[in-house]
Structure formats: C-alpha cells, structure tokens
C-alpha cells in the first residue's frame, strides 16, 4: 500500500532484536500478540488483539494481552494511541505518520506527510511539558463510509 510502510516480517525481526537486547525472551505468546498487533493496519485495540490471539492460544487471558501490549509500548515496539485508556489502540507502524480517523466506522488510517512531520510545536504546548512526539489526527468520514 504505502512505500514507507514496513513489512510484517521486518517488524518481527526488529521485535525479536529489541527483546533480545532487553534480555527478554521472544516467547510464542509474545510473538503471537505482536504479530496480531503488527499485521493489521487497523490500529486494533486490546480486545481485538485478544480475540484473534485466543483463536490460536485458547488459554490466554485478556489481562496477559494488556500487560504484554504495555510492555511492548515501554520497549518502543508499539505506540498507544489516545485516550480513553480502556479503548486505547495500538500501532505497530513506528515510522513517523499521521492518522485519519473515521467517526462512523472508527477505522484509523495511516498517512504520511513530510509537512506534518515538520510541524512547529507552539510555545503554549511546550509550556505544558517536555514534547516527545507530535502526530496529526484528522477526523471525518472515510471514503468507504462516505460512498
Ligand atoms: Zn469509515
Ligand atoms: Zn498509525
């Protein structure tokens, strides 16, 4: 789809690498959770990841999936998108990008923009704390829903 978009196999190699460097094991369970988060362009939430992983690992719990996803966020393997926390979505696309959020079907679509990557952070945002990243979220009706 997008040329900037990193293939799943590359993401998984990177995943194994990061875990190894952090002294963590790339267990089957962790790998399945990451694969589920990483293969989708839909920015799945924990519930959706849980349901998909449970089809292959029936003994897994939602709590484990949550803890594992937050571990991946801490390791810089995923980003967590926006509040509210209970419906937080996870994004395995770590290339700088922006989002189009469809208010009807709740899909969150990635897009790339070098202009938005260079956004100037306003002083009053900087006054609120140390800025680490900035991402643009556009809301509207996706082409599927507006057709
Ligand atoms: Zn839509
Ligand atoms: Zn994204």
Residue pair 69/28 in contact (Cβ under 8 Å)? The answer is: no
Average pLDDT of the chain, as a whole number:
89
59 CA → ligand 1 middle, Å: 33
pLDDT at residue 60, as a whole number = 96
pLDDT digits (tens, 9 = 90+) for 71-83: 999 999 998 887 6
Q: How far apart are CA 35 and CA 13, in angstroms?
A: 11
Ligand having the closest approach to the CA of 136: 2
List phi, psi (to 5°) of 89: -110, 155
Ligand having the closest approach to the CA of 106: 1
Extract the residue ranges of the chain whose pLDDT is less than 70. Answer: 1-5, 83-86
pTM to 2 decimal places: 0.71
Q: Which of the 8 DSSP states describes residue 126?
A: H
Cα-based distances in Å from 18 to 8, 49, 78, 135 = 15, 21, 12, 24
pLDDT at residue 3, as a whole number = 42
């Amino acid at each position: 789809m997008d040329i900037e978009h990193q293939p799943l196999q590359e993401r998984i190699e990177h995943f194994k690498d990061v875990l190894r460097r952090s002294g963590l094991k790339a267990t089957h369970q962790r790998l399945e959770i990451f694969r589920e988060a990483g293969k989708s362009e839909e920015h799945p939430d924990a519930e959706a990841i849980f349901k998909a992983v449970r089809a292959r690992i029936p003994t897994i719990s939602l709590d484990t999936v949550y803890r594992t996803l937050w571990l991946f966020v801490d390791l810089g393997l995923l980003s967590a998108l926006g509040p509210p926390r209970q419906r937080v979505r996870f994004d395995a696309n770590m290339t700088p990008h922006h989002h189009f959020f469809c208010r009807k079907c709740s899909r969150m679509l990635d897009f790339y923009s070098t202009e938005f990557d260079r956004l100037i952070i306003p002083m009053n945002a900087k006054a609120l704390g140390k800025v680490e990243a900035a991402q643009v979220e556009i809301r509207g009706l996706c082409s599927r829903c507006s057709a």
